[in-house]
Amino acid sequence: MRGRHRHRPSALARRRARAGMGFVAPNLAAVAVFMLFPLGFSLYLSFQHWDLFRPMRFTGLGNYRQLLGDPLFYIALRNTAVFTVLTLAPTVLISLGVAAALNRRVRGIGLFRTLAFLPLVASTVAMAVVWRFLLTTDYGAVNLALGWFGVKPVPWLSDPGWALVSLSLVTVWKSVPFATVVLLAAMQGIPQTLYEAARIDGAGAWRRFRSITVPLVRGALSFVFVITIINSVQAFDQAYALTDGNGGPETGTYVLGIMLFQNAFRFYEVGYAAALAWVIFALLLVATLVQLWLSRRETEAW
């Protein structure tokens, strides 16, 4: 009996446990209300036919079968894949170079860091509207600047092929600061003694960057890869602001985010839109798992 009483928590420990649960409870409630419930309800909606006005009607896998037979879904999937590729590589390479340039102890580097991070605090919609004026074919500042070098006006937003490139350029401009912050933080955690030893051995700047910096920020690079892919697949606000929400010209910028918005809030096919949202979730889950697996293999190889 004494042994049992000895392991029983004291009154102070119970009060501390109750106090801890009291502090955690609001956060748990917020997660349940704003994350778990919407997730569960959207999954439930994906098996229903609902237009917001009439009662729901159970359709089983009907929404998913309709989605897989919809030609617009494959157009949106192709555009999203191309857009992701056009966004991912420049974002990673540019942010890696900018982070390396900012990871220096030189006079005035704080000012350059501030300027580099300014797009991070700008509203995505406001930024896209500004870029829409800059990329206008006839009087846009970009084409005016290109004209000084004898380049003919580029139909940035009026040609389907160029429109997707323009969307990628705007997204890269917006994505680079966040990726730079992550990579810069990882670089500042690298011991300076490694660079000093490499200098003594005669390694140049490029060799130090390739052999020391890149391997030691591999975890941060993997994170940037995953976040950039997720943001690209979920892209909506910049595409909406650049194309008035139509995915044009024609279907040049008709990405999955635009398709989801149109079906949910223009056509009121809420169940169909929920099914599309879960398909997007499945694609992102697979892409994330593949990236983590590849990153783990590279880490083990090193």
Residue 1 has pLDDT above 50, yes or no: no
244 shares its domain with 162: yes
C-alpha 270/C-alpha 232 separation (Å) is 23
C-alpha 96/C-alpha 266 separation (Å) is 40
Q: Is residue 215 part of a domain?
A: yes
Residue 13 has pLDDT above 90, yes or no: no
**What total of structural domains would you count in the chain?**
2
pLDDT in the model for residue 271:
94
Average pLDDT, integer, range 273-296: 89
81 shares its domain with 161: yes
135 shares its domain with 25: no
Q: Tell me if the bond preceding 90 is cis, omega within 30° of 0.
A: no
C-alpha 131/C-alpha 156 separation (Å) is 11
165 shares its domain with 212: yes
Task: Identify the sign of the CA torsion 147, 244, 39, 81.
Answer: negative
pLDDT tens digits, residue range 39-96?
A: 999 999 999 999 888 899 999 999 999 999 999 999 999 999 999 999 999 999 999 9
269 shares its domain with 242: yes
Q: Is residue 224 part of a domain?
A: yes
Average pLDDT, integer, range 140-154: 88
Q: Is residue 2 part of a domain?
A: no
Residue 179 domain boundaries:
66-300
